């Protein structure tokens, strides 16, 4: 038996499709392109019904599924094509056909059908109510009282074709989207692209929108937020340069901040695909790199940087080469993607006490904005925001989860900025996709109780063994991610499981751990191997919980309960991307976790409700929800900051993940492999650990 096949596809052919878990199993999320990436299409009066959450696309017999196809590559342009294509220096805006615009009623119906809600969060007060500062009169943005917040009915993007015909995006960018295989816009793209590309067309009744809008978007994980902010960012640069006849220049006009390097590199890659054949450059910020900041500051600074070589050791060969050739010279970039600290370090570097500023930046984009504005990153993020001194700066905030505290913080900051700069305030618009922001409706959720830490380990081992998967619950097929609470636990779990995959299937090379304690180059290598399908089980911490897109991940295991409902949403949102169904999320909990599990259970219940799963279909039964204690506010805060205390390093037996020594396990594994090879057994080796009694089972 081909072990690769076994591990990838499970052992039993599914016959009874009526079972929930089996249904999920029959649809392999990695099995190629998703026909419709949209999550919602409710029936609205007078509109043709296309699809509803919970509706199953045509059933396929499992035997029809393609062979291992972990990461379903999107169609790429043929190598060499890009060279043949003429580089588009600037965008030639397509003539906008006003006739293409939808009526207000059509927009209203589309918004309703796709569960999109767009609200004006702040507005320019009319003259009679304008606040007047003591020094000089000026208009300010005022946050309307709750009941005043106005629902907007802007233009909605029905097809990607309209990007060119109605919103005048660059021909090359439009073609690149087609090459990427994007056929239908997702909900967040439907709502955000018109507003960000042509606010004057999207919101004709909202007065002067010359400088666009500030924007906050809350949309499910994997719903395509990245291109929602990338397309307007690059197109606005192209359009302006075309209008001002500025050819062949590179000027930093857009900055995208992301909380982790992995996410930053991923955004750069997406950006490069969109920019192929254009003259624009999207660049990832690196240690020691200089970008075009305020010129005076920069010239002072270049000399200093070159004299300070030993300050930060470059991590990778690539970085070393980069620093050797480019140190001190501003990198030519039009769009910069960075983690907050990297850019802030650059802004604060140099001999001068004063922070450098970024006067050319017109777009500031915060991806995973709730984390970037959480106390951990807040000062760094706000530092960059302050450095973007252009008065008409547009700021946008994106995440699958956005607490009301973050929304208030952002509204306040935008107001303060307008006041301090004395500029014309811009409308601040919020877009929400879905009925509830804390839900992941298109995957199967499982909450699994085990009596002890050892029980969790056994349960996870069970998931690694295809022979023991049965039809009572959704099998978890590689590739999958395993989340732990701390770096130490990720490392220990990796050590523990390293030899669990049979040698003939690749053995220990199939399992890896990725966390922030590793060097950049090691992290990049692991990411590459996981994306390529060489690594099947990736043990990690919350460093990979946000934004990272692995199209073919079949499942997520929360080995340790997440620290908040938002953390749960983001972790499990690594599977079931772009509307794909069939992903599975398993969360283990022990009695120590019971005080905190309600947060997770609530998200699962909300997700199942959105997906139309009720009664026996639901993974979370009402009795369990009722039985679990509510989490006190103080405990929630502590949990979010520190996780379950007992599992922190040195916190007693629960901090440890161990059974036998690596040597013992390797020996055992080799023995198993040898037996398997000699007998040419087609089945998995029988379980000889002898400790299966502690296995709590998926359906506990
Ligand atoms: N219109 C579309 N049609 C098909 N696939 C799409 C579309 N838009 C985006 N995708 C794909 O969906 C996947 C998820 O997109 P993306 O990473 O932007 O999601 P996200 O909303 O940012 O998720 P997260 O909240 O987890 O960061 C990517 O692989 C992307 O290429």
Q: Tell me the β-bridge partners of 130.
A: none
Q: What is the pTM of this model?
A: 0.79
The rounded Å distance from CA 76 to ligand 1 centre is 16
Is the per-residue pLDDT at 78 higher than 90? no
The rounded Å distance from CA 66 to ligand 1 centre is 22
Average pLDDT, integer, range 501-515: 90
| Cβ–ligand 1 contact at 68 (below 6 Å) | no
Q: Do residues 554 and 480 lie in contact, with contact meaning Cβ atoms separated by under 8 Å?
A: yes
Q: What pLDDT digit, counting tens, does each position of 609-651 carry?
A: 888 877 766 777 777 878 787 877 777 777 777 777 777 755 4
Amino acid 192: pLDDT: 98
- ipTM above 0.90 for this complex: yes
| Cβ–ligand 1 contact at 109 (below 6 Å) | no
| Cβ–ligand 1 contact at 695 (below 6 Å) | no
Average pLDDT, integer, range 135-139: 48
The per-residue pLDDT of the chain, averaged, comes to 77
| Cβ–ligand 1 contact at 222 (below 6 Å) | yes
| Cβ–ligand 1 contact at 434 (below 6 Å) | no
How far, in Å, CA of 478 to CA of 143, rounded? Answer: 48
> Above pLDDT 90, what percent of the chain?
46
- If pLDDT is split at 50, 70 and 90, which confidence band does 32 have? very low
How far, in Å, CA of 265 to CA of 521, rounded? Answer: 12
Is the per-residue pLDDT at 690 higher than 90? no
Amino acid 380: pLDDT: 97
Instruction: State how far Cα 124 lies from the chain centre.
Output: 33
Amino acid 51: pLDDT: 45
Six token digits for residue 634: 């103080």
Q: Which atom in ligand 1 lies closest to the alpha carbon of residue 400? A: 25
Q: Do residues 516 and 338 lie in contact, with contact meaning Cβ atoms separated by under 8 Å?
A: no
Q: What pLDDT digit, counting tens, does each position of 231-254 carry?
A: 999 999 999 998 888 888 899 999
- If pLDDT is split at 50, 70 and 90, which confidence band does 532 have? very high
Task: Tell me how far CA of residue 408 lies from CA of 413, 551, 570, in angstroms.
Answer: 9, 34, 22
Q: What pLDDT digit, counting tens, does each position of 533-553 carry?
A: 999 999 999 999 999 998 789
Q: What pLDDT digit, counting tens, does each position of 84-94 carry?
A: 444 554 545 55
Nearest CA to ligand 1 atom 2: 182
Is the per-residue pLDDT at 275 higher than 80? yes
Between 627 and 506, whose confidence is greater? 506
Amino acid 665: pLDDT: 54
Helix (H) or strand (E) holding 331: strand 330-331
What DSSP designation does 615 have?
A: G
Average pLDDT, integer, range 416-426: 87
Three-state DSSP class for 47?
Answer: coil
Close Cβ partners of 325 (under 8 Å, ≥ 6 residues apart): none
The rounded Å distance from CA 453 to ligand 1 centre is 35
For residue 636, give the nearest of 565, 684, 687, 570 by alpha carbon. 565
Is the peptide bond preceding residue 167 cis, with omega within 30 degrees of 0?
A: no
Is the per-residue pLDDT at 519 higher than 90? yes
Q: Do residues 319 and 285 lie in contact, with contact meaning Cβ atoms separated by under 8 Å?
A: no
What DSSP designation does 272 have?
A: H
Six token digits for residue 69: 């196809």
Three-state DSSP class for 321?
Answer: helix
How far, in Å, CA of 691 to CA of 514, rounded? Answer: 28
Q: Do residues 3 and 458 lie in contact, with contact meaning Cβ atoms separated by under 8 Å?
A: no
The rounded Å distance from CA 223 to ligand 1 centre is 5
Amino acid 164: pLDDT: 93
How far, in Å, CA of 218 to CA of 436, rounded? Answer: 10
Q: Which atom in ligand 1 lies closest to the alpha carbon of residue 160? A: 1
The rounded Å distance from CA 551 to ligand 1 centre is 9
Between 639 and 147, whose confidence is greater? 639
Helix (H) or strand (E) holding 409: helix 404-421
Between 52 and 172, whose confidence is greater? 172
Amino acid 238: pLDDT: 95
Instruction: State how far Cα 57 lies from the chain centre.
Output: 25
Q: Do residues 173 and 279 lie in contact, with contact meaning Cβ atoms separated by under 8 Å?
A: no
| Cβ–ligand 1 contact at 322 (below 6 Å) | no
Close Cβ partners of 10 (under 8 Å, ≥ 6 residues apart): 25, 466, 469, 475, 477
- If pLDDT is split at 50, 70 and 90, which confidence band does 261 have? very high
Q: Do residues 463 and 557 lie in contact, with contact meaning Cβ atoms separated by under 8 Å?
A: yes
| Cβ–ligand 1 contact at 551 (below 6 Å) | yes
Q: Do residues 655 and 649 lie in contact, with contact meaning Cβ atoms separated by under 8 Å?
A: yes
Whole-number CA gyration radius for the chain: 26
Average pLDDT, integer, range 289-308: 53
| Cβ–ligand 1 contact at 549 (below 6 Å) | yes
Is the per-residue pLDDT at 17 higher than 80? no
Q: Do residues 143 and 215 lie in contact, with contact meaning Cβ atoms separated by under 8 Å?
A: no
Q: Do residues 248 and 427 lie in contact, with contact meaning Cβ atoms separated by under 8 Å?
A: no
Q: Which atom in ligand 1 lies closest to the alpha carbon of residue 182? A: 3
Amino acid 66: pLDDT: 34
Q: Of 38, 223, 399, 402, which is best to mutate to test ligand 1, by the most ligand atoms within 8 angstroms of its C-beta?
A: 223
Helix (H) or strand (E) holding 150: strand 150-151
- If pLDDT is split at 50, 70 and 90, which confidence band does 11 have? very low
Between 442 and 266, whose confidence is greater? 266
> Above pLDDT 70, what percent of the chain?
68
The rounded Å distance from CA 120 to ligand 1 centre is 25
Q: What pLDDT digit, counting tens, does each position of 355-385 carry?
A: 899 999 999 999 999 999 999 899 999 999 9
| Cβ–ligand 1 contact at 260 (below 6 Å) | no
Q: What angle do CA 304, 335, 319 make, to 5 degrees?
A: 50
């Amino acid at each position: 038996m081909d072990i690769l096949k076994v591990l990838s596809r499970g052992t039993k052919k599914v016959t009874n499709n009526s079972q929930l878990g089996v249904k999920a199993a029959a649809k392999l999320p990695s099995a190629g392109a998703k026909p419709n990436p949209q999550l919602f299409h409710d029936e609205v009066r007078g509109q043709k019904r296309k699809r509803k959450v919970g509706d199953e696309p045509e059933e396929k017999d499992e035997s029809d599924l393609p062979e291992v196809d972990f990461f379903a590559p999107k169609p790429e342009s043929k190598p060499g094509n890009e060279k043949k294509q003429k580089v588009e220096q600037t965008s030639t805006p397509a003539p906008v056909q006003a006739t293409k615009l939808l009526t207000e009623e059509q927009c209203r119906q589309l918004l309703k059908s796709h569960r999109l809600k767009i609200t004006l969060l702040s507005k320019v007060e009319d003259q009679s109510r304008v606040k007047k500062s003591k020094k000089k009169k000026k208009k300010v943005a005022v946050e309307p009282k709750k009941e005043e917040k106005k629902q907007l009915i802007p233009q909605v993007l029905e097809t990607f074709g309209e990007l060119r015909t109605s919103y005048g995006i660059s021909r090359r960018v439009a073609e690149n989207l087609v090459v990427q295989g994007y056929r239908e816009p997702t909900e967040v793209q439907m709502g955000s692209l018109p507003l960000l590309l042509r606010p004057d067309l999207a919101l004709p009744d909202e007065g002067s929108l010359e400088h666009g809008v500030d924007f906050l978007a809350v949309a499910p994980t994997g719903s395509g937020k990245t291109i929602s902010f990338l397309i307007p960012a690059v197109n606005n640069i192209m359009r302006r340069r075309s209008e001002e006849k500025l050819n062949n220049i590179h000027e930093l006009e857009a900055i995208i901040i992301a909380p982790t390097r992995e996410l930053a590199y991923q955004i750069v890659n997406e950006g490069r695909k969109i920019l192929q054949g254009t003259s624009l450059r999207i660049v990832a910020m690196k240690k020691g790199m200089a970008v075009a900041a305020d010129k005076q500051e920069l010239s002072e600074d270049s000399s200093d940087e070159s004299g300070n070589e030993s300050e930060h050791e470059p991590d990778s060969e690539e970085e070393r080469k980069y620093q050797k050739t480019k140190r001190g010279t501003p990198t030519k970039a039009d769009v910069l993607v960075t983690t907050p600290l990297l850019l802030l370090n650059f802004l604060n570097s140099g001999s001068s006490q004063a922070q450098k500023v970024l006067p050319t930046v017109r777009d500031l984009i915060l991806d995973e904005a709730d984390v970037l504005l959480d106390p951990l990153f807040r000062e760094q993020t706000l530092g960059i925001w302050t450095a973007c001194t252009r008065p008409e700066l547009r700021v946008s905030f994106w995440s699958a989860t956005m607490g009301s505290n973050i929304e208030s913080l952002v509204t306040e900051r935008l107001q303060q900025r307008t006041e301090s700069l004395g500029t014309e305030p811009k409308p601040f618009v919020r877009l929400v996709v879905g009925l509830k922001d804390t839900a992941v409706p298109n995957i199967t959720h499982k909450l699994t109780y085990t009596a002890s830490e050892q029980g969790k380990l056994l349960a996870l081992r069970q998931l690694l063994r295809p022979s023991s998967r049965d039809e009572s619950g959704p099998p978890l097929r590689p590739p999958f991610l395993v989340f732990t609470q701390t770096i130490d636990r990720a490392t220990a779990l990796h050590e523990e499981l390293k030899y669990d995959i049979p040698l003939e299937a690749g053995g220990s090379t199939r399992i890896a751990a990725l966390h922030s304690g590793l060097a950049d180059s090691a992290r990049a290598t692991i990411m590459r191997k996981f994306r390529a399908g060489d690594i099947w089980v990736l043990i990690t911490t919350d460093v990979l919980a946000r934004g990272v897109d692995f199209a073919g991940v079949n499942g997520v295991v929360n080995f340790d309960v997440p620290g908040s409902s938002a953390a749960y949403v983001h972790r499990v949102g690594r599977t079931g991307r772009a509307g794909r169904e069939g992903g599975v999320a398993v969360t283990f909990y022990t009695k120590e976790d019971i005080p905190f599990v309600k947060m997770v259970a609530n998200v699962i219940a909300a997700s199942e409700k959105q997906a139309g799963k009720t009664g026996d279909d639901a993974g979370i039964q009402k009795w369990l929800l009722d039985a679990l204690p509510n989490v006190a506010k103080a405990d929630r805060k502590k949990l979010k900051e520190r996780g379950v205390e007992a599992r922190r390093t040195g916190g007693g037996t629960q901090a440890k993940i161990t059974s036998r020594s690596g040597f013992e396990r390797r020996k055992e594994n080799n023995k198993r492999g040898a037996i398997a090879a000699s007998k040419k057994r087609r089945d998995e080796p029988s379980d000889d650990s002898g400790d299966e009694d502690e296995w709590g089972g998926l359906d506990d």
